[in-house]
Amino acid sequence: MRTAGFYNLITVLFFTIASVFITYGQSNLNDTIKIDEVVVTGTKVAVTRNNVPLTVTVVYEKEIEESSESALLPVLTERVPGMFVTERGITGFGVATGAAGLISIRGIGGSPNTQVLVLLNGNPQYMGIFGHPLADAYVASDVERVEVIRGPASTLYGSNAMGGVINIITKKQQKDGYNANARVMLGSYNTQKYMTNGGYKKKKFNIFTSINHDQTGGHRDSSDFFITNGYLRMGYSINEHFKSSIDFSMAQFDATDPGPEEGNAGNSIDITRGMGAFVFDNEFDKLSGSLHLFYNFGEHAITDGFRSNDNNYGLIFYEAFKLFKGNTLTLGIDYKNFGGKAENTLAMNGNGIIFTDTSIYELSSYILIQQKLFSNLILNAGFRMEHNQVFGNEPVPSAGFAYNITEKTILKGSVSKGFRSPTIRELFMWAPANDSLFPERMIHYETSFSQYLFDDKLSLELTAYKAKGDNLIKTLLVGNQPKNVNTGEFSNWGIELAINYKPAENLKFHANYSYISMNEPVIATPEQQVFLSGTYKYKSFSFNISLQSIVNLYIQTGQNLMKESYNLLNTRVGYKINKHFDVFIKGENLLNTEYQINYGYPMPGIISFGGINLHF
């Protein structure tokens, strides 16, 4: 449990050590923070992050690698203010009853896990029947960077982008030649993690591929987990104006639900997920855009007899026009089709029963206008019209500005609508099904202030927001029968702070804090989050220490409301033997904190890992 005195002591020690390192750190030309970083998620086309009205957090490959995590989402929980992802053990999230991997941003999301949209290179990733992302399929070793929009982005991305968007951008070989990497990591409770990846480029052709395998016996009885992931991406530059790429991934995992601490073990699952996409890009002086064709599929089998085959496929096309000085006009259309078949093969005395076997399509068009005025003011306005096969049309407006007060002082503001379409499960499956549901809706207001100081060694970003939503889909008793209905409302407001400090090339610090006030508590959302991290390199050694503090995490809502608070201290030490070979050890939960994130599922105490990395 959380101890205020100890937390304060750790904080003081953290910044005391920081001041010592700062005194002896050696500055050079590279000890600055990027102020002109380019993002694509906030506008579909490449734009400097400071010119995007939305709040976008970028997590880079280096930060992900320094964590030595095999799964991506736990890194984002630490690095992205206001974002939280549930866990239930050493590795693996699972699906179905007892699963973790619930994502919330600013109190939007959690359970059901359908209000935050995950993209892979701009293509939507979610289960076709239940509408949730697949946390175990997102692998850290494949990632070049992750762009996270904190707040709704439904004007650009449609349904599920109600709370935010997580765009995972995968690696590609940038220089001619090849490189390869491998990792072996062993740890507590017979945890084993293996990874290999590599890239090759020759003139116009490039390829990147990876294989990952994780397994653990788990820290509780019946909590074993096993997963193997494979990924392939190939690209070809036709000429200076056109390029194309394809990518494909497969993941197969088995997991067992250990059940609540005072209960019995749950079911085991056998999951196969796959994804394929084709992308064709064009780029000219006054014109740029992209065509995406994507297909996601999955097979889920649970020992209670549940079986499902789902898919999610579609087309994304957009084109950006630079009509005159300072103006960019983006037009786009999306087509998505999602659904599948779900059944229980053991029901009805072994005769089986089909719960659903259907699909739904969505067709939408949108426009986004960006105009630069007076060299330092950028105005944005967008509008989307979404047509859903079941409920009809949904208009989605947004507007915002980015004002560069100086080159290093930026003020932003935006108002936007977010929405989430009802899923196949909510419309057609089981007793509460209701095929007359409408989408959940939200209006979101946000302002942020960014400042760069000390020759760009220090960056500060302070954000305040307010969100009001209605039409939430809840299950209520109607005529003594459970039924999904549009009824719920919520009102959230909060503040977020992100700080990055790089006093020297071999020393950097990161801190973020978030506070949220919710009139309606949400599972997987803490009232306060603090994350502090410091990384120091000395000759061949590297040291990292981090502290995560979670205050009043809602693990159960309703009449039996329960909250959990805890501190986690982690550290990692690495040694680079030569340019091809390095070793590391890491420890997690070094305070041996007793805590739970999923109600009834205690998390492990102190755990340790050791590993080797190879680079060629």
Residue 225 β-bridge partners: 216, 255
Residue from 276, 364, 279 nearest 313 by CA: 276
How far, in Å, CA of 123 to CA of 246, rounded? 12
Q: Which of 161, 168, 243, 170 is nearest to 204 (CA)?
A: 243
Helix (H, G, I), strand (E, B) or coil at 200: strand
Contacts with 207 (C-beta within 8 Å, 6 or more apart), sequence order:
173, 199, 200, 201, 232, 233, 234, 235
154-180 as b/e: b if 16+ CB within 10 A: bbbbbbbbbbbbbbbbbbbbeeeeeee
Residue 9 has what pLDDT? Answer: 42
Per-residue pLDDT, 27: 42
Could you tell me where the beta strands, DSSP code E, fall in 345-480?
353-373, 377-388, 392-406, 409-420, 440-453, 458-478
CA 293/CA 245 separation, integer angstroms: 11
Q: Give the integer Cα–Cα distance in Å for 398 and 421.
A: 18
CB atoms within 10 A of CB 24: 11
Identify the pLDDT of residue 99. 86
Q: What is the pLDDT of residue 12?
A: 40
What is the Cα 345 distance to its own chain's centre?
Answer: 34
Q: How far apart are CA 116 and CA 104, in angstroms?
A: 7
What number of H helices and E strands is found in the chain?
Answer: 5, 34
Tokens at residue 598, please? 């999923």
Which residue in 407, 332, 333, 400 sits closest to 371, CA to CA?
400
Give the separation between CA 307 and CA 416, rounded to whole angstroms.
38
Close Cβ partners of 239 (under 8 Å, ≥ 6 residues apart)? none
Alpha-carbon distance values, 589 to 9, 256, 266, 596 (Å): 17, 23, 26, 13
- Blockwise average pLDDT, block size 10, the chain, 616 residues: 44 43 42 72 85 94 91 96 96 86 95 94 97 94 96 97 97 93 97 97 96 96 95 97 97 94 90 97 96 98 97 98 94 98 95 97 98 94 98 98 95 98 97 96 98 95 97 92 93 98 96 96 95 97 97 92 97 97 97 96 97 95
Q: What is the pLDDT of residue 604?
A: 97
The class (CATH top level) of 4-615 is mainly beta
Report CA-CA distances (Å) from 130 to 32, 103, 196, 340, 359. Answer: 44, 15, 32, 10, 12
538 CB burial (10 A radius; 0-12, 13-18, 19+): exposed
Q: Which two tokens stand for residue 319?
A: 């084109």
Q: Which is it for strands 205-216 and 601-602: parallel, antiparallel or unpaired?
A: unpaired
Q: Which two tokens stand for residue 596?
A: 């739970």
pTM above 0.85, yes or no: yes
Q: What is the pLDDT of residue 31?
A: 61
